Every structure is written in C-alpha cells, then in structure tokens.
Amino acid sequence: MTATSPPATHLDHLVVVAPTLEAGAAWVRAALGADLRAGGRHDRMGTHNLLLRLGPDAYLEVIATDPAAPPPGRPRWFGLDDLAPDAEPRLAAWVARTEDVDATAAASPEPLGAVEPMSRGDLTWRLTVPPGRSLPLGGAGPLLIQWDTGPHPAERLPDDGCELVGLTVTHPDHERVGRLLAVIGFAGPVAVVAGEAVKLTAEVRTPSGARWF
C-alpha cells in the first residue's frame, strides 16, 4: 500500500431486503436452515433488521421497513420504498469494512454515496449512502462501512454454525467491478464474473452442508 492508498477493505456483511422481517426470516430459514437473531431499529432510515452470524467478523442482515417508525423524510436505503408487499426477499447488497471510510470513498472510481453517521442501539458507524434509491453498480459494488464502536456485531451474535464461504458478484461489465475492488484495496472471498444482469450469490457452510442463496 502506498502512502496515498486507502486502507484495505474486507467483507463486512450481506444485506437481504424483505417486505417484512417475518418474510425475510422465513426466506433465510428455507435457504440456510437457520434462525435469525434480533437486531434493532435504524431511526434515520425508518427500518429495522434481523441478523445471522456468518463468521467471527461477518454477518447476514435482513432489513425491512419498520411499520412502527415515522416516515424518515428521505428514501429508505436498499430500495425498500420500491419493494412490493408480496415481493420475495432477495440478496440485494453487500457492505465492505474499512478503517477510513472517507479516504476509501474518495479513492473509489465509482460513486458510492455520501458518508453518513448511523446508529442502532449502542452501535454507531459511518456508511456510504448512495443518492435516492440507487446502489453502487446496481448492487454489484459494495457500500462502505467504518464501525465507530465495538465489538463488531458478529462478535455479539451466537455461533449457530453458519460461515460465509464466498460471494459471487455477477455484472455485465465485470471488469468495471474488478477495478473498483482493486482501487479500494478489497481483500476477501468475492469472485466477480460476467453475466447479463447484476446478481449476488452467497455460499454459506451450515451444519447441514453447503447452501447457496
């Protein structure tokens, strides 16, 4: 790493969007045979989540609009405002962890969004939030996160025997995704391949064997 390069980034968590947390929990249970754990509320976004540990420093997040929260006065992240009530949950985004989110976002050759402070309970972090309802490269590129308080959320979750093996990112211009990951110094179990549409596919080792979703 040169003096002007941002610090290395690593896979932090996967994001499954769902019309409700109950629908997301059922979808994950069918895909992985695992039950999600309680998360919390994101007051700035009007959302809430459930979590599953995928290793010592990675986790899966199911996120949905919080019906008890007031409208946030802004588009909810991950395109949740556009999600139909009967939509099937899906793996829509992924988040990469960095020790300097400002420097990493500034170095990115793709627009990742403004760095904004966020919180959930006693956790605080800074995250790149793309404008409107967009995601970096349609979801193929990561959001960036810098945790300001510890321990990491994965450390707070019980180990249910699920571990992320790898994430495959499909994009029509896979070289563009690869350039982005190279510039931000990404190191992690992510493979980038060419395909007609953006798609994220995760492989998870579970107590009953390998599963994909």
Residue 90 token pair: 């899906």
CA dist 71 and 16 (Å) reads 21
Specify the number of domains making up the chain.
1
DSSP 8-class letter at 89: P
Q: How confident is the model at residue 1 (pLDDT cuts 50, 70, 90)?
A: very low
Q: Is residue 182 over pLDDT 50? A: yes
**141 part of a folded domain:** yes
CA 105/CA 119 separation, integer angstroms: 20
Q: How confident is the model at residue 122 (pLDDT cuts 50, 70, 90)?
A: confident
Is 5 domain-assigned? no
Residue 3 counted as domain residue:
no
Give Rg (Cα) of the chain: 16
Residue 4 falls within a domain, yes or no? Answer: no
Residue owning tokens 């627009």: 111
Q: Does any domain span residue 194? A: yes
**pLDDT of residue 209 exceeding 70:** yes
Indicate whether 2 belongs to any domain: no
- Average confidence score pLDDT of the chain: 94
pTM: 0.94
Residue 67 lies in a domain: yes
Does 104 reside within a domain? yes
CB count in 10 Å sphere of residue 156: 13
CATH number of the domain where residue 47 is located: 3.10.180.10
Look up the domain containing 16 and give its range: 10-212
Q: State the average pLDDT over residues 170-176.
A: 97
